[in-house]
Amino acid sequence: MHEECSVCKQKFDMEPGFWYGTGYVSYALTVAISVATFVAWWVLIGVSFDDNRVFWWLGLNAVLLLILQPWLMRLSRTIYLYFFVRYDEDYETSEPQKFDY
Ligand SMILES: [Zn+2]
């Protein structure tokens, strides 16, 4: 990941440990995806413990989340950064966002 935006010079790692919060965003995203795949599985295939269908969902969902991890990580960082840095129309003349220490 770059240190700062190449266009507006916004620093990305705004303080030491800034990115730890992305874990919570990533967790929320994976829970949302898991709920969505579970509902889809429920509607399309059905949930039953008799023939272990529900465990197939569990395994396939885990594989799907592992495959999606590189995108989820980047999306989480983007969402998390957006909590603190909003789009600035006058980015060419104004200062990049900073935390007050
Ligand atoms: Zn920028």
For 15-59, the pLDDT digits (tens) are 888 999 999 999 999 999 999 999 999 999 998 888 989 999 999
What is the pLDDT at residue 101?
A: 60
What is the pLDDT at residue 93?
A: 92
- Find the 70 Cα to ligand 1 centroid distance in Å: 22
| Mean pLDDT of the 89-93 span | 91
Q: What single-letter DSSP state applies at residue 13?
A: S
Please answer whether residues 98 and 11 qualify as being in contact, where contact means their C-beta atoms are separated by less than 8 angstroms. Answer: yes
Neighbours of ion ligand 1 (CB under 5 A): 5, 7-8, 10
Cα distances from 51 to residues 47, 48, 75, in angstroms, run: 9, 6, 36
Q: In the chain, where are the structural domains located?
A: 21-84
